[in-house]
Amino acid sequence: MFTGLIETTGVIARCDRTAGGMRLLLASSLPVAELSLGESIAVDGVCLTVTSFTDKGFTVDVSPESLAATTLGAKKTGARVNLERALKLSDRLGGHLVSGHVDGQATLASVRRTGEFTRLEFSAPQALLALMIVKGSVAVDGISLTINTVESGSFSVMIIPHTLEHTTLCARTTGERVNIENDMIGKYVEKFVRSGPANGVTRELLEKYNFL
């Protein structure tokens, strides 16, 4: 489990194709001595497992499913990625609950400066937009962000200078694809609603207790 608060960015030092998957060697400022084999780390919002260490950093394996569902399959050597270690139970939850299981991809449609802030608009499929609400949370390449608008075919977020400077968003250009993970609570509520009255969960019940 993660929070969407990026610790640092890293660089893909090597990218090797394996039997249907990929092995990435990541160089970053993360203290390798504090990492453990088998621990989880979010790479551009994708939960991956640390599999080995080298003098240049640490490696993670990317499964065929993750390659197909995320942007990692298009990454090349030298690409920068967002990194976050798994949440400790004693940590403050400063962002929102992020599982590292990407729901789909969106495309950066526009970038607009508003004073010191930056407005990013993304085009996205309806399946992703259906689970977004204004002022709700979304993870974009693993970054916990607040949704400003949700329109037909797109959503937008407003980025503060700190987030822009300390994540890969500062290098994103229009047309690039990003990983999207919708809010976990919203996904559970949507499933309960679809399950219908058979499970005793109705829209009226959710509205009564302010879930909708």
pLDDT tens digits, residue range 20-65? Answer: 899 999 999 998 889 999 999 999 999 999 999 988 899 999 999 9
Provide the CATH number for the domain formed by 104-189 in this structure.
Answer: 2.40.30.20
pLDDT > 70 in the chain, percent: 95
Mean pLDDT of 156-179: 96
Give per-residue pLDDT as tens, 100-128. 999 999 999 999 999 999 999 999 999 99
Mean pLDDT of 72-83: 96
Per residue, the 3-state secondary structure of the chain, as one string, reads CECCCCCEEEEEEEEEECCCCEEEEEEECCCHHHCCCCCEEEECCEEEEEEEEECCEEEEEECHHHHHHCHHHHCCCCCEEEEEECCCCCCCCCCCCECCCCCEEEEEEEEEEECCEEEEEEECCHHHHCCCCCCCEEEECCEEEEEEEEECCEEEEEECHHHHHHCHHHHCCCCCEEEEEECHHHHHHHHHHHHCHHHCCCHHHHHHCCCC
Q: Please state the domain extents for the chain.
A: 8-85, 104-189
Instruction: Report the predicted TM-score, pTM, of the whole model to 2 decimal places.
Output: 0.90
Cα separation, 85 vs 168, in Å, equals 16
pLDDT at 198 over 70: no
pLDDT at 141 over 60: yes
pLDDT at 200 over 80: no
Q: What's the pLDDT at 147? A: 98
For residues 10 and 93, which has the higher predicted lDDT (pLDDT)?
A: 10
**Fold assignment, 8-85:** Elongation Factor Tu (Ef-tu); domain 3 (2.40.30)
pLDDT at 18 over 90: no
Cα separation, 60 vs 44, in Å, equals 13
Give me the half-sphere count of Cα atoms (radius 13 Å) on the Cβ side of residue 206: 19
Please, which pLDDT band fits residue 131 given cuts at 50, 70 and 90? very high
Q: Are 156 and 120 in contact (CB under 8 A)?
A: yes
Mean pLDDT of the chain: 92
